[in-house]
Structure 1
Amino acid sequence: MTSETRTAATGPADAEVVDPDYPVTPVPAHARKSFFSVAVVLLGFTVFTPTMLAGAALGPAFSFSNLLLVIGLGSLVLGVYVAVMGWVGARTGLTTVVMARYTLGTRGAKLASVLLGGTQIGWYAVVVGTIGDLTAEALDWDSYGARAAVMVVTSVLMCATAYWGYHGMYWVSLVSTPLILILAFWVLGRSLQEVGGFSGLAGVEPTSSMALAVAVTTVVGTFVSAGTQAPNWTRFARRPSHAVWACVIGFLVGNGLMIFFGAVGALTFGEGDFVLVLYQLGLVGWGLVLLFGNLWKSNADTAYAFGVAGAELFNRPSKAPFVIGGSVIATGLALTGVQNHLVDYLVLLGTFIPPLGGVIIGDFLARWRRGIPGGYAPPAVRWPNLAAYAVAAGLAWLSGELGIGIPPVIGIVVAIVLSMGLARLSPDTATRVPAQR
């Protein structure tokens, strides 16, 4: 780990860290975790059953060989991007929103906190609402009160896990992820029986069409926004290489598997979500186990993300009040049925989040590769990087509107190139100060 100054990352209110998760300060060496621990948390984050719906959209549009190509290419793009973000997080020991202070300035970073934190509150609401709806469907409940009670109880469990912090997410992931994968592979086996194994699956003809760029965008888009916040967890890695491989396991392997499962489910049962496949098979109890175990751990990570974003936004040394407050707001949104209206909006925001990661990567490579100098205080606003972000986000949105290229990739690449180029044109005095080690 390179040495960073605490005074650059924090304000006077943060002189004493009161949160063992260090939401606004670098994670010290004694608090770093093993490779296994970080990999478990990230794999638990990406083994997320709603991702199967993306696979369900892809499955009927491609032959089996082309489907594997699309999933592999999209997962590779996603995995490389998140691995670089994770590497930066391990090198600095900082969350994504605190790294944004160095990239966008102390005031400019508030944009990152609002964008990332707000989006995560929205997703938390969608997941809580989805749990209530699918539980009611499984148990044939018509009562709104019963559905609301499920939402409130599950939200409390998720909030408590995030409040507990890294340790809570680790233990929930350690217990639930293997069970979820066992269930998923079992359903995969049943799915293959329906079509005569992999040879039968290879013989299934496409029934719809989708452009390759759109398909790869679908794969990348499943977790590119959440992947931008991978440093929230990889900052605990003891070595940057550990962070890289943990991201590869989580975002390339784990996320890719969930997309593949969804595609196979759609081709064999006409349903991409294995929770609903288990319902179809009459295994309602196991379906609920898969539903609760999976969404509990993933939404706990979501609550943790908006907790650290709130800590940065208000420059407070503890994530706890923001985890609780965000969970309360999100649960209230879920109780109004927001999950039926908010998803498209949140996906749109996903276009504007990846360029933020691109700017952080480009700025780090251009200015901070040798470490952040002790005593360096970022300016209030770094206008060149804000401009790079705005241009990259605009081009990503435009590419989506015109159907040209892969919007998240365009946003990331343009942001990296512009931020690195602008850093060379307007060097910061900090780049000439040797890093403290």
Structure 2
Amino acid sequence: MTTQEKTPHETHAVELESEFEHEPVPQNRRKSLLTVSAVWFGFPMILTNAVPGGVVVALLGFWRGLAAILVANLIMFVYVSLLSYRAGRTGESFALQATKTFGTIGYTLASGFLATIVVGWFAFNTGATGATANQAFGWNEQLVVVLAGLAFIAVTYLGIRALSVLGAIAAPLFIVSAIIAVVIAAQSHNLGAIASYAGVGGGGLTFGAAVSLIMATFADSGTMTADFTRWSKNGREAVLATATAFPVASVVAQLTGGVIVAAGAIAGADKVGGNFLPLLTDGQGVLLSALAAVFVFVNLGSVCTHCLYNGALGWSHLTKSKMRIMTLILGVLGLVAALAGVWNHFLDWLVVLSIFVPPLGGVLIADQIVLWRRSAQRAVAKARPTAFIAWTIGAVAGGSVHWLAPELSDAVSGLLVAIIAYVVAETVSARTPVKV
């Protein structure tokens, strides 16, 4: 008699599925287009994404704000789709992608940077959950943060399938809540005046800065898209799954915030943005208050779990550990940060992301998409100087635009400059003779 040995990734019915932290996802373990789309679709359609949409409309006016939202999301679609296409073809996570471009040691800087940033997002949105529940219902903020954070950690621990289920619930719930908020706003405000809304003015935000602000909300997880789309059956399905997030889900969330701001339903919108939750809770009765409570936890829980998954997957590869172990460790650290109030620095956080993250993604695109033939034939290196040079040049360009030419977009500028810098650096490097 012979017995068939199980492969390392075959799981018993009661065991959790492997998350393939250290190798590409095998073709026979890939997910359906619907499953991967649910992961991405439910991610950007969140309350905290309605906030920057409202800020942009408040400062630029409805039509210019809408244009900035659309331009930013179309750029994000191209940007994230290119990285997703590569992930769908190879099954590689962001950490594995970064290893090929930055080197087996060099990748630790790029991957560690983003894997830490997204844990910051987990902390921010967990803190925002407590603050929102406190403002809306008077609940104890710290207690809500702890309970919500533990629940988010538990869902993330279950892995990619749990993210797809949560996304499939969070997105429809957002749409229902947004429609109700618009209907309530229409009862006391003239929706017909939305198109003529000129904003609060004051010159506090340029069009280019608005595009950067919108891009920055998902620049980090967008760059790490491979962690999600590596589960796609192929590159085409990875791109289709990405499209459900950018532009569809992201535009829905940001435009919802913008519309309610333009209707005049949110006071101080230039600071608080498109947070429409108070419309659902201010004297609207028990049923709507219950809906709002569920909405807060499910909606913000979606972004928290996705970000923690990105961080745990990245750090599990960096530490040669398991995603679920790092979920527990990073989840607790993020929870402590949330209790410390990191969520209060939202706009400052976005400025940092818009300068440093897009150039990193630009280097990956240049190396693995533009120069894919060269990268496919290249020997593995411990560190690749051209990648770091291009990333630095792109970040410097983005920072320069931010402070010296704010009418332009620092995110787009840094992205394009990094791509060009990498191609030039690689071309010069290939032509430079090696001294013996």
**How would you bin the TM-score normalised by the shorter chain?**
0.7 to 0.9
Distance 2:379 2:145 in 1: 43
How much has 1:291 moved relative to structure 2? 0.9
Q: Confirm or deny: 8 A CA contact 1:163 1:320 kept in the other structure.
A: yes
User: For the structure 1 residues 21 and 371, does the alpha-carbon distance in structure 2 shift closer, same or farther, using more than 3 Å as the test?
Assistant: farther
Indicate which of 194, 198, 205 corresponds to 2:198. 205
TM-score by length of 1: 0.87
- Are 1:188 and 2:163 counterparts? no
Query: Take 2:63 and 2:353, find their aligned partners in 1: how far apart are those partners?
Result: 32
Note closer, same or farther for the CA distance 1:64–1:127 as it changes in structure 2 (3 Å cut).
Answer: closer
1:270-329 residue CA offsets vs partner (Å, 9 max, x unmatched): 15212222123534322212211101111100110111111121133x211111100000
Q: Does 1:398 align with 2:405?
A: no
Deviation at 1:342, TM superposition (A): 6.5
Correspondence for 1:5: none
Go from structure 1 to structure 2 and tell me whether the alpha carbon gap of 1:292 and 1:240 turns closer, same or farther (over 3 Å shift): same
For residue 337 of structure 1, report the CA deviation from its aligned partner.
Answer: 2.3
Deviation at 1:241, TM superposition (A): 1.3
Q: Who is 1:311 aligned against?
A: 316
Name the amino acid aligned to 2:306: D
SS in 2 for 1:46: coil
1:351 to 346, 355, 359: 355
Contact 1:275 1:288 in 2 (8 A): no
Instruction: Choose from 231, 236, 247 the match for 1:241.
Output: 236
Structure 2 CA distance for partners of 1:194 and 1:246, relative to 1, 3 Å = farther
Cα distance change on mapping 1:408 and 1:203 into 2, 3 Å: closer
1:164 counterpart residue number: 158
Distance 1:170 1:382, change over 3 A: same
Residues 1:421 and 2:416 are matched in the alignment: no
Match of 2:265 in 1: 269
User: In 1, Cα distance between the equivalents of 2:343 and 2:208?
Assistant: 27
Look up the match of 2:3: none
- 2:277 aligned with 1:284, yes or no? no
| CA deviation profile, 1:236-281 (whole Å, cap 9, x unmatched) | 1112111112212202111111111111222231152122221235
CA offset at residue 368 of structure 1? 3.0
Tell me by how many angstroms 1:362 deviates.
Answer: 0.4
Alpha-carbon deviations, 1:336-390, whole Å to 9, x = none?
22322466246414421111111011001244359846xx762110111111111
The answer to whether the 8 Å contact 2:85/2:235 transfers is: yes
Does the 8 Å CA contact 1:118/1:306 hold for their aligned counterparts? yes
CA distance in 2, matches of 1:64, 1:57: 11
| 1:254 corresponds to | 249
Q: Given the superposition, is the C-alpha separation of residues 340 and 69 from structure 1 closer, same or farther in structure 2, using an over 3 Å criterion?
A: closer
Residues 67-124 of structure 1, C-alpha deviations (whole Å, 9 max, x = no match): 3322221211122111112112212211112211100001110012221111112111
Contact 2:87–2:226 (Cα < 8 Å) also in 1 = yes
* Shift, 1:137, TM fit: 2.1
Counterpart contact for 2:354–2:410, Cα < 8 Å: no
Q: Which residue of 1 aligns with 2:102?
A: 104
Q: Deviations over 1:379-424 (max 9, x none)?
A: 1101111111111111111211222521111111112222223333
The 3 A distance-change label for structure 1 pair 269 and 157 is: same
Matches within 5 A, 1:23-102: 23-102=21-100
Aligned AA (2:327): V
Partner SS for 1:426: helix
Distance 1:343 1:163, change over 3 A: farther
What code does the residue aligned with 1:95 have? Answer: S
The answer to whether the Cα contact below 8 Å between 1:366 and 1:424 also exists between their aligned partners in 2 is no
Q: In structure 2, how many angstroms separate the alpha carbons of the residues matched to 1:223 and 1:82?
A: 10
The answer on 1:325 being equivalent to 2:326 is no
Aligned residues: 406
Indicate if the aligned counterparts of 1:262 and 1:273 stay in contact, CA closer than 8 A: yes
Gaps of 5+ in 2: 1-6, 11-16, 268-273, 432-436
Matches for 1:375-390 after TM superposition, within 5 Å: 378-390=380-392
Displacement of 1:21 after TM fit?
A: 1.5
User: Using the alignment, how far apart are the partners of 1:370 and 1:162 within structure 2?
Assistant: 37
Does the 8 A contact of 2:213 with 2:351 survive in 1?
Answer: no
Cα drift, residue 175 of structure 1: 2.2
- Return the offset for 1:66: 3.0
User: 2: distance between equivalents of 1:276 and 1:110?
Assistant: 42
Give the Cα separation in 2 of the matches to 1:346 and 1:217.
9
How far off its partner does 1:184 sit?
1.2
CA contact (8 A) 1:80 1:248 kept: no
Moved more, 324-333 or 259-268: 259-268
Task: Find out whether 1:365 has 2:369 as its counterpart.
Answer: yes
Residues 122 and 303, structure 2, Cα contact 8 Å, conserved in 1:
no
The TM-score with structure 2 as length reference comes to 0.87
Contact 1:184 1:261 in 2 (8 A): yes
Native 8 Å contact 2:21 2:316 kept in 1: yes
Cα distance in 2 between the residues matched to 1:17 and 1:346: 38
- Paired position in structure 2 for 1:432: none
Check conservation: 1:90, 1:236, Cα contact below 8 A.
yes
Amino acid aligned to 2:298: G
Change over 3 Å in CA distance of 1:194–1:72 after alignment to 2: farther
* Identity over aligned pairs, percent: 26
Among residues 218, 225, 234, which one is paired with 2:220 in the alignment? 225
Counterpart-to-counterpart distance in 2, 1:63 and 1:152:
38
Shift of 1:427: 4.8
Structure 1 unaligned blocks of 5 or more: 1-14, 429-437
Instruction: For 1:24 and 1:150, locate their aligned partners in 2 and report how far apart those are by CA, in whole Å.
Output: 35
Question: Aligned-residue CA RMSD in angstroms?
Answer: 2.3
SS in 2 for 1:416: helix
Distance 1:339 1:63 in 2: 27
Closer, same or farther in 2 for the Cα pair 1:281/1:371, shift >3 Å? farther
